[in-house]
Chains A and B, each alone.
Chain A
Amino acid sequence: MPTIAVLSMKGGVGKSTITLGLASVAWERGQAALIVDLDPQANATMGLDVLAPDFTTNDVLADGRPGIAADAVSGTGWAPHIKVIAAERALEHRNTNEGRHSALRLRTALASLPRAYDLVVIDCPPSLGELTRNALSAADLAVVVTEPGYFALHGAAQAIEAVEIIRGTTNPGLRTAAIVINRARPHLAEQQVRIAELREAYGELVSPSVLPERTSVPQAQGAGIPIHAWHSPGAREISELFEDLYDEVLPDLKIGLP
């Protein structure tokens, strides 16, 4: 039911990884999830093991009729309860303002579709342009991703400002659910400083689930399988952190595991 937009200022920080991580928790727990890939690079689509989908978010946004997104839902290679609206390169055409209500096209096209799922995750492109505006306008919650580098604080601030702007314009119900630090190598003193800076600036908004750098992340993505299905100590560690993040961001969805 809740719709989460995963965003960041930059590319390569882990938006698609966190999108896929949340999807992997849903996969593990048998909850119905819809991933909406709004990045023309289509990394989340590939990570979900989707080949040649009939329709994509480009078609949905180009059309824009209320509820039309339902026509574009595809299955994934993961499981029947994990669905996707795939992305494709041509989605880049939609990253410009298309006139009145341009930022509301995704929300309009999704209409009541999110109600059919326990969770909807929108993977944003690496910019704060029209596609990200559409994602934020359609979402209930925003998850901001950052790396613990020199520009971490700046990047997080920019993304949170984007959330504020959308809250003040097209989507008053939107709120930032968490700032997630990804690709951490906590033994590096520089990173400790950056993480402390973020905590100082944003307090509890910074998720306690700090995701370390683990080779199993690109491996599972390359294989097109959920990180929960990748059997290595690193994958297990990351999977547990994704579960904590899932419960933090979606406390209402916490269910007893068998």
Chain B
Amino acid sequence: MSEASISNQRPALAKAADADLHPTTPKLEPINDLTSKAGSATSDVMRAPKKEKLVTIKLDIPKSVRKSLRIEADKRGLSVNQLINAVLRDRTRS
């Protein structure tokens, strides 16, 4: 098999998950710590504490960030919605 056909088969390079994070931003790794504030199961990360009402917000983000979010969420077995909830909850300390 030629080198060209090998490289055609491998998935192309994607932007790194942290490409849009400022270097001083704490790493996203300890997301389980974030989720533990809401509960121990990963699906709890999107659940508001107690019976709080959920609201929908519209957000404009660069395509590249959405791509990073999808990759990061995939890695953690979460939905993008869950990941964003976890990050926002951590950032706003609520």
Residues of A within 8 A of B (CB): 40, 55-56, 58-63, 65, 67-68, 70-72, 88-90, 92-93, 112
A55 CA to B27 CA, complexed, in Å? 21
Q: Are B14 and A89 in contact (CB under 8 A)?
A: no
> Which residues on the A side are within 8 Å of B20 (C-beta)?
90
Stretch at the interface among B5-13, B42-50, B51-59, B78-86: B5-13
> Which residues on the A side are within 8 Å of B74 (C-beta)?
none
Q: Are A71 and B16 in contact (CB under 8 A)?
A: no
> Which residues on the B side are within 8 Å of A61 (C-beta)?
16
B17 an interface residue at 8 Å Cβ cutoff?
A: yes
Q: Are A72 and B13 in contact (CB under 8 A)?
A: yes
Q: B26 to chain A: closest CB distance in Å?
A: 11
A72 CA to B18 CA, complexed, in Å? 17
Q: Are B13 and A93 in contact (CB under 8 A)?
A: no
Q: How many A-B residue pairs have CB under 8 A?
A: 45
Q: Are B16 and A58 in contact (CB under 8 A)?
A: yes
Q: Are B23 and A63 in contact (CB under 8 A)?
A: no
Give B21's nearest chain A residue, CB to CB.
A90
Give A66's nearest chain B residue, CB to CB.
B10
Q: Are A90 and B18 in contact (CB under 8 A)?
A: yes
A56 CA to B19 CA, complexed, in Å? 9
Give A88's nearest chain B residue, CB to CB.
B19
> Which residues on the A side are within 8 Å of B91 (C-beta)?
none
> Which residues on the A side are within 8 Å of B14 (C-beta)?
59, 63
A67 CA to B14 CA, complexed, in Å? 14
Of A55, A65, A70, A89, the residue contacting B22 (CB under 8 A) is A89
- Given that A89-B22, A92-B23, A93-B23 are known contacts, is A55 also in contact with B7, CB under 8 Å in the complex? no
- Given that A59-B13, A59-B14, A93-B18 are known contacts, is A70 also in contact with B7, CB under 8 Å in the complex? yes
> Which residues on the A side are within 8 Å of B16 (C-beta)?
58-59, 61-63, 90, 93
A65 CA to B10 CA, complexed, in Å? 10
Q: B19 to chain A: closest CB distance in Å?
A: 5
Give B19's nearest chain A residue, CB to CB.
A90
> Which residues on the B side are within 8 Å of A71 (C-beta)?
12-13
B76 an interface residue at 8 Å Cβ cutoff?
A: no
Known: A59-B19, A70-B7, A89-B23; 17 extra A-B contacts, CB below 8 A, are A58-B16, A58-B18, A58-B19, A59-B16, A60-B13, A63-B13, A63-B14, A67-B10, A72-B13, A89-B22, A90-B16, A90-B18, A90-B19, A90-B21, A90-B23, A93-B23, A112-B3
> Which residues on the A side are within 8 Å of B3 (C-beta)?
112
11 interchain pairs (CB within 8 A)? A58-B18, A59-B16, A62-B17, A62-B18, A63-B13, A67-B7, A68-B13, A71-B12, A88-B19, A89-B23, A90-B21
